[in-house]
Structure 1
């Protein structure tokens, strides 16, 4: 997983100059990896995680939540580009978020998926090649089971179904027993994965690897 995340982070930093908004929970691990990989650099503040899913994207308070997380009309228009990053397959959530903003703002919002079956949305071969070296000779969608396994890694939190205002801040909240389980929720296991990533990011070779990946050029399609 490390090699794929390293390749994807290098690609994003080299390709997109503006803020990167990732969709949780599926991108939770990569978000942590990206924050660790950019610690101490100007890129660190470009990385964001939003708890947006099929269960809450139609909530009446979603735009207030997005504004709180920094995704505003003004910010979009003042940026060279805004990237919305999700796992797979057609970009339903990123597309729904784009529709909340003006046409002028939407033109600056780009969508990237780990695996895409939409011709207009690129897949992230820099991530996929670590899972299957033959990915350049195969359609990314053939890695369906692998991406599903990544999406179902143990998470700290379950998927939310709405946004509630609690003590002056919008919080994504779930409804226990209502939603079908989506992935494994294990705070203990998830935190262990995150601790391992942090320990690895502190190794002297980590930034060298990232620089090498960045110099190798982008791999997406």
Structure 2
């Protein structure tokens, strides 16, 4: 058990170091030697867990994707208003971008999906599908206008969030990502929500920003 626990700790250290390196330098500019040095492990230890840089990159993406989907599934649980869940989810993900190197590394690798073999589009397809499901529920709950093209809106929301996180990375403004997400909702909500519900959901966005900025997931 002790040996198994030590091996798992080593694997996590390698994943964290790799994610940090991929986030900072990108896939092509990161070497296994860089990751070994950052993780403080031997070459043999790295190859015991991961057979190649590509395999290691894929593992980072999978951890990031599973973490985000776990948060999304929790936020989208039946009983929670769908639009509120969507707004809170966006702020929870933004908070993780600011604090979790594995999340950041996984996101950059996904954007550079041509750099490794498989799974490049899956995270975004899953995210779009979940957003579309939440929008469908929000229409049923009368929080989003009837007749809304939920597929188009789901693509737009995921694209907007992706663009904001990329810009935050380029401008070194990740601590301000929750602010940008609130502004995104302030622009989108008036087009999506019946007039009498706009103020309520604008308040939801501001409260979610405050909560997740102060207490990241």
TM-score normalised by length of structure 1: 0.25
TM-score normalised by length of structure 2: 0.26
The structure having more radius of gyration, on CA atoms, is 2
More helix by share: 2
Higher relative contact order (CA 8 A, sep 6+): 1
